């Protein structure tokens, strides 16, 4: 249940019977031939589909994340670590102040990892509130399914290529991109990273069949739903 489809009176009535919420966090960064908003699109969609049967509200996705390495790619927007951490702390303050006591943060971008530590720090000052962090794409069941499908999968490769992250009129390259030693380049700065990484795919094929992708997506939704439903003390 998306908050965008609710008014304040409906949220108030919800809080009389439940205290759960979902807060998705994404990023706006290069994803090779896929949408720049891929991380935000996937985090919000998996959160919404997981929460819908449970009637749990899902807040709008945070569209910007921490991605300094990709700023040489036009369209990428990177927040400072302290900025994103502050925004999430403020959001958690607001939710806790209104009576939400169980919040699942569905994260769609690996660079947002510092926020997980900030959320844990926030919890220490808010007894009685639970906040769980869920990296949907590499959670145990999803990652197992990805590896069973094709072990060569990474950023901007087939594993992020769903119908809702593709762009009209953009054709995917054929073949498989060799694994790139991205970890060895991070100290060289955004311009060199772009020069060496090229189109932005880290490794693997650019697309796979929709049947395979829908199978992975079903696991992602089920895994997130299980955490919303029963992942609490």
For the chain, domains (ranges, CATH) are 3-230 (3.40.50.10310)
pLDDT at 233 > cutoff 90: no
pLDDT of residue 231: 79
For residue 81, pLDDT over 90 is answered with yes
Residue-wise pLDDT tens digits, 188-213: 999 999 999 999 999 999 999 999 99
Q: Is the per-residue pLDDT at 3 higher than 90? A: yes
Tell me the backbone φ, ψ of residue 157, rounded to 5 degrees.
-95, -165
DSSP element (H, E) containing 18: none
Contacts by 112-116 with C-beta closer than 8 Å and gap 24+?
A: 112/25, 112/27, 112/65, 112/66, 112/84, 114/66, 114/81, 114/84, 114/85, 115/25, 115/66, 115/84, 115/85, 115/88
Residue 61 clears pLDDT 90, i.e. is over it: yes
pLDDT, position 43: 98
Q: What pTM was estimated for this model as a whole?
A: 0.97
Radius of gyration over alpha carbons of the chain, in Å? 18
Q: What is the pLDDT of residues 9-48, one digit of tens each?
A: 999 999 999 999 999 999 999 999 999 999 999 999 999 9
């Amino acid at each position: 249940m998306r908050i965008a489809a609710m008014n304040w009176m409906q949220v108030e009535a919800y809080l009389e019977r439940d205290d759960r919420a979902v807060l998705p966090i994404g990023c706006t960064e290069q994803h090779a031939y896929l949408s720049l908003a891929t991380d935000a699109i996937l985090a919000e969609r998996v959160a919404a589909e997981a929460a819908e049967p449970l009637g749990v509200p899902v807040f709008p996705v945070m569209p910007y994340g921490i991605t300094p390495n990709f700023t040489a790619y036009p369209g990428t927007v990177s927040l400072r670590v302290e900025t994103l951490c502050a925004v999430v702390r403020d959001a958690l303050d607001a939710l806790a102040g209104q009576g939400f006591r169980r919040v699942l943060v569905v994260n769609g971008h690996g660079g947002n990892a510092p926020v997980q530590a900030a959320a844990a720090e926030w919890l220490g000052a808010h007894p009685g509130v639970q906040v769980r962090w869920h990296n949907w794409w590499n959670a145990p069941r999803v990652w197992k399914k990805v590896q069973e499908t094709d072990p060569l999968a990474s950023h901007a490769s087939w594993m992020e290529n769903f119908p809702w992250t593709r762009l009209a009129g953009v054709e995917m390259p054929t073949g498989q991109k060799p694994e790139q030693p991205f970890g060895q380049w991070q100290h060289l700065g955004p311009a060199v990273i772009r020069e060496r990484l090229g189109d932005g795919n880290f490794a693997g094929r650019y697309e796979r069949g929709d049947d395979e992708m829908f199978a992975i997506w079903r696991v992602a939704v089920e895994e997130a739903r299980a955490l919303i439903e029963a992942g609490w003390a």
